[in-house]
Structure 1
Amino acid sequence: MSFARSYIRTVDAVNFRIGRIMMYGIFVMGGILLWSSISKTFFNPSLWTLEMAQFAMVTYYIMGGPYSIQLGANVRMDLFYAEWSDHRKAQVDAITVLMLIFYLGVLLYGALSSTAYSLGHYQNEPFRFYWGLLTGTEEIGRLEHSATAWRPVIWPIKIVMVFGFFLMLLQAISELLKDLIRIKGGTV
């Protein structure tokens, strides 16, 4: 139980801080779109603004996801849920969090595979590629670029996705541990 409580405290603290910082990401995206409007109106239009705003939105959304899970800000069907006891809510939440953990595991694997592809690894084994990068037996290949006129490299936003999905997975495990503690009658 002490390990579970320290895990919950640590993961919640990290995701809380990151989430509070990411809340201001909407202003970054707004600033980029404001510059896009100004440059299109008064100057030559910037090629980078629309795609950079999309990257900012992806970062805002994915890095804010763990904070949203932590706050319970997810959409839930309250038709029956609101009337249940705390014990029953914890039981149902534990089952749904298990499904979320599976889903986030699939997303994380896909993000790792996609990131390996964007770094020039075109085979099916991303973990072997990452291990090879660490041991020096693999090299980064031809980097993937966007198909737009600006043509930025894609790997930075894919790394943000990997990191965000990993933090969401850790937060989902934290929520599962909280539910299990509540099921046993404890408090978090």
Structure 2
Amino acid sequence: MQRWLNGYVTIVGRLSGAVGVVAMYLIFAMIGILLLDAITRNVIDIPLHWCIEAAQFTLAAYYFTGGAMTLRDDDHARMDLFYERLSVRGKAWLDLVTSACLIFYLVVLLIGAVSSTQYAIQTGETRFSMWNPSMIPIKVLMCCCIVLMLLQSVALIIKDLTILREPAAQ
């Protein structure tokens, strides 16, 4: 059983890392889009109406895809009023509690995201603008990334339970 759990943690960690690397490069795509917008609008006086919305979609994809890697690498924001003073086992207990809260939040978020994605697919939802892009791709990406964050949260719980199962230092 322990080998299976370690395998799960490893696979989810690698997937989170791969998706996180894609997220890192999305920043460069967004910079390119905004640079193109600035040049076409201010230098050659031909504004491209899709640039700002494309940059907004790229930013949304950036923070959706970066979430699981942030969890994996423990790079998220945390209030360290007393956390750093805890023992390794104390940190594991507190992390279990916060992971349970996170999973509850992500499940509720996923329910809303799936409902919103179903609505977008059924109605062919588009953004009300001159460019009028479909909302389906970003909503599907949102659902996939929330699922990945849920998987990474379970991996964190497995890591914390492993710490708690180890015999306490004498």
Q: TM-score, normalised by structure 2?
A: 0.94
Unaligned runs of 5+ in 2: none
Q: In the alignment, which residue of structure 1 is the partner of 2:12?
A: 11
CA offset at residue 18 of structure 1?
1.5
Give the Cα–Cα distance (whole angstroms) in 2 for the partners of residues 102 and 39 of structure 1: 45
Q: Which of 124, 134, 147 is equivalent to 1:166?
A: 147
Letter in 2 for 1:153: S
Give the Cα–Cα distance (whole angstroms) in 1 for the partners of residues 152 and 46 of structure 2: 44
Q: In the alignment, which residue of structure 2 is the partner of 1:125?
A: none
Deviations 1:71-106 (A, max 9, x none): 101111111011110000000000100110111111
Give the Cα–Cα distance (whole angstroms) in 2 for the partners of residues 18 and 151 of structure 1: 27
Are 2:127 and 1:146 equivalent residues in the alignment?
yes
Are 2:73 and 1:71 equivalent residues in the alignment?
yes
Letter in 2 for 1:30: I
Q: In the alignment, which residue of structure 2 is the partner of 1:114?
A: 116
Q: In the alignment, which residue of structure 1 is the partner of 2:46?
A: 44
CA offset at residue 21 of structure 1?
2.4
| Residue-pair matches, total | 165
Give the Cα–Cα distance (whole angstroms) in 2 for the partners of residues 117 and 185 of structure 1: 47
Letter in 2 for 1:151: N
Give the Cα–Cα distance (whole angstroms) in 1 for the partners of residues 135 and 21 of structure 2: 26
Aligned structure 1 segments of 4 or more residues deviating by more than 2 angstroms: none
SS of the equivalent of 1:76 reads: coil
Give the Cα–Cα distance (whole angstroms) in 1 for the partners of residues 128 and 19 of structure 2: 31
Q: TM-score, normalised by structure 1?
A: 0.85
CA offset at residue 109 of structure 1?
1.0
1 or 2, which has the higher helix percentage?
2
Unaligned runs of 5+ in 1: 121-141
